[in-house]
A and B are shown apart, each in its own frame.
Chain A
């Protein structure tokens, strides 16, 4: 079945640094990917929609200069958390849309210290 590979699974970074999270579709082309964040015991909150070859569409309240999204190919979308702060610590997960539904990456646990 369709697989979305997300890396890294866990990352710890220092406050002020940037972190890049990758999501790669392994056996299909993903023209659209979605990025979510999830706080403990909360649901997935949609941050942005990533479209191959065009600018991402951000949800209200999400800072596009802080959460940089690049979708330069049909199989790769990246989320870069710039100048990370402890409040950015969260579980980030991507999802690719397919005709048959949505396939999720395994998630990235980001801890900013």
Chain B
């Protein structure tokens, strides 16, 4: 399997910074996405990394290390509306399948 691992749940305080880690099997790796999902809705695209380094987009940043099979999503200036599930997903070479990790349920508290 592709063994995409991320923490099941995290809790953070409004205004703070939170980092959600993701590790994955490197064989066949062809890119990594981060999505946000609210219950009963489709995932919403947050970021895409295919090269090593940091991609910044407003309050959200994503980092990738291909050699380590590691990525993280960094959320700054947390807001209550950021409470959601965050999904790490990897594209693997075989037919471009997008495989998801188990998702991290983030709770932002006042």
**B87 close to A44 (CB less than 8 A):** yes
* Chain A proximity of B40: nearest CB distance (Å): 7
**B95 close to A49 (CB less than 8 A):** yes
Quick one: given A97-B96, A101-B33, are A91 and B40 in contact (CB under 8 Å)? yes
**B102 close to A107 (CB less than 8 A):** no
Name which residue of chain B comes closest to A59, CB basis.
B97
Question: In the assembled complex, which residues on chain A have CB atoms less than 8 Å from the CB atom of B43?
Answer: 44, 104
Q: Size band of the B side of the interface?
A: 20 to 34
**A64-110 at interface with B (beta carbon < 8 Å):** 91, 93, 95, 97, 101-102, 104-107, 109
Give Cα distance in the complex from A36 to B37, angstroms. Answer: 14
**B48 close to A101 (CB less than 8 A):** yes
Quick one: given A43-B102, A43-B103, A101-B48, are A107 and B97 in contact (CB under 8 Å)? no
* B74 close to A (CB within 8 Å): no
**A49 close to B97 (CB less than 8 A):** yes
* A29 close to B (CB within 8 Å): no
Name which residue of chain A comes closest to B87, CB basis.
A43
* Chain A proximity of B27: nearest CB distance (Å): 17
Q: Mark A18-53, 1 if CB is under 8 A from B, else 0.
A: 000000000000001010100011111110010000
* Chain A proximity of B11: nearest CB distance (Å): 15
Name which residue of chain A comes closest to B95, CB basis.
A49
Quick one: given A42-B102, A43-B87, A44-B87, are A57 and B42 in contact (CB under 8 Å)? no
Query: Can you give 16 contacting A-B residue pairs, CB < 8 Å?
Result: A32-B95, A34-B97, A36-B100, A42-B103, A43-B87, A43-B101, A44-B100, A45-B100, A46-B97, A46-B100, A57-B95, A95-B98, A97-B96, A101-B48, A102-B33, A107-B40
Q: Which residues of A contact B (CB under 8 A)?
A: 32, 34, 36, 40-46, 49, 57, 91, 93, 95, 97, 101-102, 104-107, 109
